Structure 1
Amino acid sequence: MAELLESLENGGGKLSATSSWRSRSRLERKHHPQPGVPWKLGPEEVLFAALSARTVELARLRAGPGGDYRGALMAVELKIAVELGKLLEKTSDPIFEGLSKVAIEEAGLVCGVCHEEMEVGSHGRMMECKNTFRLHCIVKWLERKMTCPLCRYNMPIIID
């Protein structure tokens, strides 16, 4: 992937004159390991390459002539990651359907899975049975068992 990004940075998708044939061959074998088959990007790879090219373009515009390109690239990538996270947050995994996000407001509240105290001001997840857990703990638990670890409340199974 780094080689793909480097090739996009160095020539808009074309290999630069300084690129070695060996690195190009390695990239081709990675995506198309069968000998004799022409190298071709799949639909997801085309979208990724287009996104990468736009990211590089935005970073170059942000940095300006003689500016800090690496810093601008990191800032653009961070902004994209934040926006993508906001979009993905709205999608629902069936595990999250029965969990509510709650703020931990009282000291001494213990996660029923890991048995460690939850910090006041942090966020946890409350099941419909009103038991509260750390997010990563209850998600790991519910991936194995669809019941509350404390009261054995059965999580509803949602079938689309």
Structure 2
Amino acid sequence: GNDYEALLEFEERQGAVVSRKLSRREIQRFPTKVFQGSSSGSGNTQCQICFCDYDNGEKLRMLPCFHDYHVQCIDRWLKDNTTCPICRANLADGDAVAPPTSDL
């Protein structure tokens, strides 16, 4: 009865989340910044995808969870994944992506 229906609905929702991918446009909505080593006393100075140190002037992409990566590293990661590599925040979730979209 009811439990079976609820389980089917749950599986459908889980499947939709797993198969969801970010479009190139969605990925490019995440802001970028230029790394300046001297000015950032705190924060990460290494890309957690390629494990290379950031160089001054390199372009980094910031995710809504405030983790940053080389643009080319994170863009490649986000083609197949919808989560932050560090904290696993779900970036396909409308709440995580700015600006929020209307519920039409």
Q: TM-score, normalised by structure 1?
A: 0.38
Letter in 1 for 2:31: S
Larger Cα-atom Rg: 1
Question: What residue number does 1:140 align with?
Answer: 76
Structure 2: segments with no counterpart, 5+ residues: 1-23, 39-43, 95-100
Letter in 1 for 2:79: E
Question: What residue number does 2:28 align with?
Answer: 96
- C-alpha RMSD of matched pairs (Å): 2.2
> 2: distance between equivalents of 1:151 and 1:157?
14
Q: How many residues align?
A: 67
SS in structure 2 opposite 1:114?
A: coil
The aligned runs of 1:1-160 (5 Å cut-off) are 93-97=25-29, 99-106=30-37, 109-156=45-92
The structure, 1 or 2, with the larger RCO (C-alpha pairs under 8 Å, 6+ apart) is 2
Residue 136 of structure 1 deviates from its aligned partner by 0.8
Runs of 4+ in 1 over 3 A off after TM superposition: none
Structure 2 contact 58–70 (Cα < 8 Å) conserved: no
Structure 1: segments with no counterpart, 5+ residues: 1-91
Could you say which structure has the higher helix fraction?
1
> 2: distance between equivalents of 1:122 and 1:140?
17
